[in-house]
């Protein structure tokens, strides 16, 4: 669950998530919320694999996909991220200003991407 004020905006490369506020370096951006976000196991995603590959984060350790129930799933990929992850803690790894898009390196976030690579356009 996002704990910073954000909005969605359509850009040249698709729908992205943008900050409405200044976010300090090392500030927590996302916290897990069991009432909103949840784990999905392979037997639960029949026919929806493409959706999960695009919007969820796969954990090899857990053998499941984690889907954020809010707009956090619209964070796009960048090789120059301003969001980083340590365990399931998401924080700003660069200062973020109002109007900046929130970006993450999917190879850092998702075991599936590390193994299979990206299959969509990158920024």
Task: For Cα atoms 106, 90, 66, give the angle at the middle one, nearest 5 degrees.
Answer: 60
pTM greater than 0.85 (yes/no): no
The yes-or-no verdict on residue 30 having pLDDT over 50 is yes
- Answer for the pair 73, 46: CB distance below 8 angstroms, yes or no: no
Confidence band, pLDDT 50/70/90 cuts, at residue 119: low
The yes-or-no verdict on residue 122 having pLDDT over 60 is no
Structure tokens at 93: 């790894």
Confidence band, pLDDT 50/70/90 cuts, at residue 116: low
Confidence band, pLDDT 50/70/90 cuts, at residue 118: low
Structure tokens at 108: 């850092």
- Assigned CATH for 6-116: 2.170.270.10
Q: In the chain, what is the straight-line distance between the N-terminal and C-terminal CA atoms, in Å?
A: 24
Average pLDDT value for residue range 19-44: 92
The yes-or-no verdict on residue 69 having pLDDT over 70 is yes
The structural domains of the chain, with segments of one domain joined by +, span 6-116
């Amino acid at each position: 669950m996002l704990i910073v004020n954000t909005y969605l905006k359509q850009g040249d490369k698709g729908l992205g998530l943008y900050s409405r506020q200044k976010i300090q370096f090392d500030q927590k951006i996302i916290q897990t919320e069991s009432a909103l976000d949840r784990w999905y196991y392979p037997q639960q995603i029949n026919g929806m694999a493409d959706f999960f590959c695009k919007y969820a984060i796969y954990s090899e350790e857990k053998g499941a996909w984690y889907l954020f129930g809010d707009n956090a799933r619209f964070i796009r990929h960048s090789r120059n991220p301003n969001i980083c992850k340590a365990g399931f803690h998401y924080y700003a790894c660069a200062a973020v200003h109002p109007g900046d898009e929130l970006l993450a390196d999917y190879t850092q976030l998702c075991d599936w991407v590390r193994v299979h690579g990206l299959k969509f356009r990158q920024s």
